Amino acid sequence: MIFDPMYFVFMIPGLIFMLWAQHRVKSSYGKYSKVANDARLTGAQTARRVLDNAGLQNVAIEQIPGELTDHYDPRSKKPGLSTGVAQQPSVAALAIVAHEIGHALQDNQGYAPLKLRGAIVPAVTVSSWVAPLLFFAGLLLGLTELAWVGVILFGASVLFALVTLPVEFDASRRALRLLQ
């Protein structure tokens, strides 16, 4: 079996960054999901009001299972709100809803970076689950090239996350305006 420590030089920074970001999101959600919003509106009620005010009455809101599974699907043109967000009248629910509605506004206005992200999602989805398999198979079988392919595919997932940051920042910027 061939082991090259350079594998980890490329993988560890991305893993640390992803774990840090995940921790920040979960801890903020945990803190602010316990704080009621002044309007006492649930996430679903807020989403409907904001969409209607933005002229997007035709956009349906979907409730989905899980925690922090909230997303906007540009294919179906629907924001998906996790059960807790959809049903809670919390500050966290308002923030998450506004962010996802920010994506709906991006889509409605033809925001180019959102289109680009949507175009590369299928490739990144496949590479994110194939990368660890190839990496560990390469290590176990002693195939250095295969392990490097896994590292490169993992790097593509990290690069995707970095490329999508402008989309996420823009959705959050729009969300702040919506909440004001």
Where in the sequence numbering do the catalytic residues fall?
100
Q: Distance between CA 68 and CA 53 in Å, rounded?
A: 25
